[in-house]
A and B are shown apart, each in its own frame.
Chain A
Amino acid sequence: MTEFPALAALTIHDVKNRLNLLVQHAERKGDGETLRLAMEAAATLTRLLQAYKAGTGQLRAEVDSHAPADVVEELAAEFRVQTSLRVELELAAAPVLACYDEALVRMVLQDALYNAMRHARAAIRISVGTADGCVEFSVADDGPGYPPEILGTPAMAMPADGEGTGLGLYLARQVAELHANGARRGELVLGNHGGAVFCLRLPL
């Protein structure tokens, strides 16, 4: 009998393959709702695997140089077919290159976007900029904003709730922490400015 973690990893892999077929099928039929359900289910599986890695000390950032505009442009394209909300992109202040683990940043922003999709009224705004020697990836919505208990809870003690928000934020903080340049580390900044603003800051 295979160990459970290995079996789980194989199963996640298998289910993602099937979800990929489902996504392609929904795409051919122009069925955005099914596409969203399949993409979000896959994101949940990614989160599960990364949470297991984080819990067992195996989560690592493989940092390399990337153009940050690329990953958010792809995410905007990916989400526009999944929602009727407006998905805006703000890249004017984006650095040409920055150093980070692209797969991890993609996962974190994907979670933030699903969360924004649940709470936004009309629009979601993804932006990339720089501040204090960091690249900043932000996801903002025009919904009611984060409830006070989320803004007030200490980072690592966040419980996972039914929508996976807690787990998502826990992983986002882990990913931020894994990005370091010398003494400087990444951080996650949550705030309310006309809706929830999720900001992942990673040292340049």
Chain B
Amino acid sequence: MALTTNYSNKSLLILDDLPEARSSLRSQVGMLGFERVVVSGTARDALEQFRKHRFDVILADYYLGEGTDGQQFLEFLRTRRIIGRGVLFIMVTAEKRYESVVTAAECLPDDYLLKPFTAEVLKLRLERLLEKKQRLARIDKLQDRGDWAGVIAACDEIIEARDRYMVDAMRIKGNALLAAGRHDDAVVFYQLMLLERPLPWSKLGLARALHLRGDSQDSKDTLSGLIAESPQLMAAYDLLGKVHLAAGDPDAALAVLDSACAISPNSLARHRAVASVAEEKGDFKRVEQALDKVVKRTRNTPLRETHDIARLGNALTELGEPAKAVSIIGEALTNYKGDAQDPMLAAVEAVAQQKAGNPDKARAALDRALQADAATLPVATTMAVAKACLSTGRHEEAQGILRKLVQTHHEATDLHQRVSTVLRDHGAAAIAESLVADSVNEIIQLNNDAVRRARAGELGPAAQMLTEAAQRLPGNTQIVANAAAALYFDVLHNGLDAEKVRQAQVFQKAVQAVAPGHPKLAEIAALVAQIREKFAASGQ
């Protein structure tokens, strides 16, 4: 066979639990000219290697032993962003396993290599895939940066060229349209694709676009059709579950996820999804069943998640078994030093300790939970911390946390209901409704006042008000977007002010990062253009 040296500058990782297979594959890639090769027998060791090296190519066997598989390993790498989109991941397997098709397209391997294979075939496959990576390298970088407009433009170039990467580019473009918040354009794009040739992924894309623009019934119909045609496509079940949930039907969501679990019982992501839905329904028995599987399966593997323990602990406490919750949390804290810093786990521990009759330990745990910077915590964690405060009698702190949470998400009515419920459940029924209503009103009032003052020509004070509110509630996208617009508006009419422009840019970028499709962004961009034109023309 022909020897090549093309690969001498490429680094490659081999992951296989069987020593013979590792050394055999190693010698095979050696024959192809790879010189920088690292072999690992376990996912844990492979993760160690990622700390020391960067790899261009990963050849991972599907079966890894130790309760993990190549798919779980890949999901872990991609969701934690341990590898970028430019890294080639090839799954080596004896049979193509369709059931391992997972939620997100980005968690799919670049390719499957079916055993047995000859060195020639491996060589051809690597050449082809590396060529594709090279052709898509610019798009991969734009995607990693979240520059969706750039991604769409780059994809259009390839689509127009109508070469072999055309369909790859279409696939990426559809995702980019959705990520950019262009839901209507995405619907039209996928519908055109389906007219040309119906493929499962474009149907799934259409269903996702319909769901995001709020056409819940059309999305459900598309997904039901897709599941009938491709019952192994797990992503369709996951999305259908989400659509049911968004439509306020957790029972239907749970039923869909259950049927997905029956087809693909090894997916951790799906058991976690079942737990989330069951949590929402308040069905803690189901939460316990689902997470117990996940926790057992990931124990002592790199795939374990601290939040699985926290949510399992919460379910056990809710089921009246706080001692059991204390015990599993204790085990986690003993074995994993980092877990002590997790505010969610600490909050759950506080409630469990309180219920188990250890108020001192409860207080210590809650103090740990309150050390975290509240502004950066996800909603679920914030709710857990508030609940812990309420359970241990620290009502004032709880109310402060909840008020801020409602104000950060002042239009999220489902969250408002959960806030009211948690207050009611902890003997604060009297203020359960008023806390939410007052918090929401305060935000509405603030927005109205700002608009009124702006109309009255008080642009500076209006911008000032919104800036203060945005700094207090950095998670409230509407307030932050309004603050950016108000600052630019002030600058446009009252003249350039470096500090105001800088602050406006910070707010604008923050909105772009979390909500690239936010409607206010177009207005902000127009203001920026007007400012440029005005001050460039006047020579300032």
Contact = CB atoms under 8 A, between A and B. Distances in A.
Interface of A: 9, 12-13, 16-17, 19-25, 27-28, 35, 38-39, 42, 46, 49, 60, 62-65, 67, 70, 73-74, 77-78, 80-81, 96-97, 99, 103, 106, 181, 204
Nearest to B24: A24
A39 B231 CA distance: 31
A28 B121 CA distance: 15
B115 A17 contact: yes
14 contacts: A13-B63, A19-B115, A20-B24, A23-B116, A24-B119, A28-B31, A42-B116, A60-B231, A64-B199, A70-B128, A81-B118, A81-B120, A96-B162, A103-B96
B1 interface: yes
Given A73-B124, A96-B163, A16 B94 contact: yes
A17 B199 contact: no
A181 B197 CA distance: 7
Given A77-B121, A77-B124, A181 B198 contact: yes
B164 A78 contact: no
Contacts of A106: 114
Contacts of B95: 9, 12-13, 16, 46, 49
Contact of A27 (B18, B28, B231): B28
A35 B198 contact: no
* Chain A interface helix/strand/loop/mixed: helix
B200 interface: yes
A63 B199 contact: yes
Contacts, number: 103
Contacts of B98: 60, 62
B7 interface: no
B179 to A, nearest CB: 22
Contacts of B1: 81
Interface of B: 1, 18, 20-21, 24-25, 27-28, 31, 63, 94-96, 98, 112, 114-121, 123-125, 128, 162-164, 166-167, 197-201, 230-232
B21 A96 contact: no
Contacts of B120: 77-78, 80-81
B199 A20 contact: no
B116 A97 contact: no
Given A13-B95, A21-B24, A70-B128, A103 B114 contact: yes
A46 to B, nearest CB: 8
Nearest to A107: B114
A96 B24 contact: no
B167 A97 contact: yes
B164 A96 contact: yes
Nearest to A62: B98
Most buried by A among B1, B96, B118, B200: B118
A28 B27 contact: yes
